[in-house]
Amino acid sequence: MSLNVKKGDNVVILAGKDKGRTGKIVSVNTSAGRVVVDGANEITKHVKARSANQQSRIEKKSGTIDASNVMILCPACNKATRVANKVEGGKKIRVCQKCGAALDVKAEKNDKKEKKTKTAAAESTGTSAKKTRKSKKTEEAQA
């Protein structure tokens, strides 16, 4: 099963006790189709002491949510949106269906790098060959 969300995405929860809450995805279980959203679906786990010097405790941690119950938040339009896939420059990137902005942070960084290298290449019109100096020994031998 292919999931449209990845670790680090900001999502809004569509169903359950945390409906309407937004958070960042901490982990994704692709085989089960479940995600862990930071601060959502809090569960309490009672941990029993394993030895005499350990102490029993109550831990609060985030439980899993089915991936169908979360929807990605577009960073550009700040709305919950479905994910569209688009091929740009031979690479498949995730795109917001509402505004068309790229959802992948890596894709945006690569676009900025490509623009910088293109402008730098256009500005440099001189030779790009490395200049070398002759050592004193080779100069004396030639003279």
pLDDT score, position 12? 93
Residue 57: half-sphere exposure toward Cβ, Cα within 13 Å: 8
- Band (pLDDT 50/70/90 cuts) for residue 22 is very high
Same domain, 1 and 68: yes
Task: Examine the pLDDT at 118 and tell me if it is beyond 70.
Answer: no
Q: Are residues 68 and 85 in the same domain?
A: no
Model confidence pLDDT, tens digit, residues 34-64: 999 998 889 999 999 999 999 999 999 889 9
Residue 43: give its domain's CATH number. 2.30.30.30
Q: Which domain holds residue 25?
A: 1-47+57-73
Q: How many helices (H) and strands (E) does the chain have?
A: 2, 10
What local confidence, expressed as pLDDT, does residue 121 receive?
62
d(CA 98, CA 20): 19
Q: How many domains does the chain have?
A: 2
My answer on whether 61 and 16 are in the same domain is yes
The predicted model gives 129-135 an average pLDDT of: 67
Asked if residue 52 is part of any domain, the answer here is: no
Pair (68, 108) in one structural domain: no
pLDDT on residue 4: 84
Q: Is 133 among the domain residues?
A: no
CA distance 33 to 13: 15
Q: What is the CA radius of gyration of the chain?
A: 27
